[in-house]
Amino acid sequence: MRRLASTWLSRWDNSQLLRRLSALTSGTAIAQAIQLANLVALAQLYSLTDVGVYSVFIAIVSTIVPVALLGYEILIPATTDEDLTAYLRALLLLLLPITLLLAIAATLLSYSHLVGVSLWVAGAAIQRIGEMYNVRGNRFRLVVVAKLIGPLIMAGLLFSTVTLDQQDISDLIILQAVFTLAFGVAYTAFSMPLRRVLAHHSWGRVFASLRKSANGPLYLMPSNLLNLAAYNVPVLVVGHWFGSEMAAQYAYVLRFGFGPVGLIGGTLYQVFYGFLAEATRVNDEKMFSQFVRARRYIGYAALATGAGIGLIYPLAFLYILGQEWDIAGWISVIFAPFFAAMLYLTPLSVSLNVFSKQQYELKTQAHYLIISIISFGSAILSNNVWVGYVMFSLLGCVRYAILLRDVNNVLIEHKVLSR
């Protein structure tokens, strides 16, 4: 046992990938724990109908935020040093017209929380710029701070709800949006040197930096939009056709399912992105080998997570949130294989961005939206929401199998993976 522990410690010290992973995992675990505790507190403090209203709002902003900058911010880690300052300036300039267009669209649609949507999207998008800048520099302690900001804001607001006895869900939404904007600006201002933001560049240089990263709006933004719409639009559909209470049940399964997936899969995604991008820039075969070896252990983690969701979540929903949440427990059983497949493929898909093969991801996300439409369209036609849940989970697993094939082909093409 002592020899085994010594071997693992030695491997940990000699692996850049493992050291970076440990720095991000611990903080992300804390952030996820706070977020899940927030969801439990929300369900205890507010009615199931109010939780449904909040879930619809979160579904809207969660769909918009990752595409608000047209996918450009995702390519910050792969941007050359020469273009970086102009690129960051371009992203900050791009944010203003996009936020204004968003506010106009929300007004035309007469959505009651349009101010909250605009403020939240602006703050979260600014924070994403700072977060991806830190991923580029492998400053994962600051990345952890970004992950903690949102859950801590929510925890503070829920605490004030108890102490001040103010339980209006609309007040909670607007206050959380205001704080998201304030902390997003503060985080990015702290993360990036002022010279990165204030450096003067001609308009030609700014637009040239965007043209070099055309894969962002061409592939990444549509891909993210399709992916997020596949998850979040069903929340709106379920809420409209089957009631806000059913929407709350489904949304909570997604949030609690994304907990371990975000902790493990999302953490690995960011670490692997910075790691594989660096390995590609310097052509380090040793780093490539570490990436390939990590695939097997991700598979073990995915299987364990899927089993845990299927066995533990039904009891947790029933005994922690109460009898009225029993439907969420059954939905989590149906979605367990889907969450396991998601966890396994999420970190491996970074290879599509690193090697500029985003067209594969766009294709699979298009499949995903089609799956969502077919699944919940069938639920509406049959007037049975469970038809939608079962079809979505099964077809989603098939979709991830196709993505795995594409990822392996890309890794083989670039000699990271042998045939």
Closest C-alpha to 239, from 388, 56, 58, 378: 56
Long-range CB contact pairs, 365-369, < 8 A, 24+: 365/222, 365/223, 365/224, 365/226, 365/227, 365/230, 366/226, 367/399, 367/402, 368/226, 368/227, 368/230, 368/396, 368/399, 369/226, 369/227, 369/229, 369/230
Per residue in 376-409, pLDDT tens?
999 999 999 999 999 999 999 998 888 888 888 8
**Residues 350, 276: contact at Cβ < 8 Å?**
yes
The Cα 64–Cα 231 span in angstroms is: 12
pLDDT confidence of residue 5: 44
Q: What is the largest CA-CA distance in the chain?
A: 66
Tokens of 300: 């073990």
pLDDT confidence of residue 8: 41
The Cα 355–Cα 352 span in angstroms is: 6
* Amino acid (one-letter) located at 12: W
Percentage above 70 pLDDT, the chain: 81
Which residues fall within 8 angstroms of residue 361, CB to CB, at 6 or more apart?
A: 219, 220, 223, 349, 352, 353, 403
Which residues fall within 8 angstroms of residue 63, CB to CB, at 6 or more apart?
A: 225, 228, 229, 231, 232, 233
Which residues fall within 8 angstroms of residue 90, CB to CB, at 6 or more apart?
A: 72, 206, 207, 209, 210
- pLDDT confidence tier of residue 47, bands split at 50, 70 and 90: confident
2 pLDDT above the threshold of 60: no
186 pLDDT above the threshold of 80: yes
Say how many CA atoms lie within 13 Å of 191 toward its Cβ: 28
The Cα 190–Cα 387 span in angstroms is: 48
The Cα 6–Cα 2 span in angstroms is: 6
106 pLDDT above the threshold of 70: no
**Residues 396, 367: contact at Cβ < 8 Å?**
no
Tokens of 379: 């639920």
- pLDDT confidence tier of residue 195, bands split at 50, 70 and 90: low
- pLDDT confidence tier of residue 198, bands split at 50, 70 and 90: low
pLDDT confidence of residue 221: 73
The Cα 52–Cα 235 span in angstroms is: 9
**Residues 140, 198: contact at Cβ < 8 Å?**
no
The Cα 362–Cα 226 span in angstroms is: 8
The better pLDDT of the pair 100, 238 is held by: 238
* Amino acid (one-letter) located at 256: F
- Give Rg (Cα) of the chain: 21
* Amino acid (one-letter) located at 315: L
The better pLDDT of the pair 330, 417 is held by: 330
Per residue in 201-218, pLDDT tens?
666 666 666 666 666 666
* Amino acid (one-letter) located at 3: R
Tokens of 30: 């804390």
Give start and end residues of each alpha helix (H) in 15-76.
16-45, 48-64
The Cα 223–Cα 349 span in angstroms is: 12
pLDDT confidence of residue 87: 76
pLDDT confidence of residue 215: 65
Q: What one-character DSSP code corresponds to residue 81? A: T
pLDDT confidence of residue 9: 45
Question: Residue 130, SS3?
Answer: helix
This prediction's pTM: 0.68
Mean pLDDT of all residues in 41-70: 84
pLDDT confidence of residue 209: 66
**Residues 283, 63: contact at Cβ < 8 Å?**
no
Mean pLDDT of all residues in 84-108: 74
* Residue that the structure tokens 């961005």 belong to: 353
Mean pLDDT of all residues in 89-115: 73
Per residue in 3-43, pLDDT tens?
544 554 454 445 555 665 665 667 777 887 888 889 888 88
Per residue in 153-165, pLDDT tens?
999 998 887 777 6
Which residues fall within 8 angstroms of residue 248, CB to CB, at 6 or more apart?
A: 48, 49, 51, 52, 55
pLDDT confidence of residue 1: 45
**Residues 399, 227: contact at Cβ < 8 Å?**
no
The lowest-confidence range among 45-49, 138-142, 265-269, 328-332 is 265-269
Mean pLDDT of the chain: 79
* Residue that the structure tokens 């820039």 belong to: 281
**Residues 395, 337: contact at Cβ < 8 Å?**
no
The Cα 34–Cα 306 span in angstroms is: 21
The residue ranges of every structural domain in the chain are 15-413
The lowest-confidence range among 207-221, 239-253, 317-331, 338-352 is 207-221
364 pLDDT above the threshold of 60: yes
313 pLDDT above the threshold of 60: yes
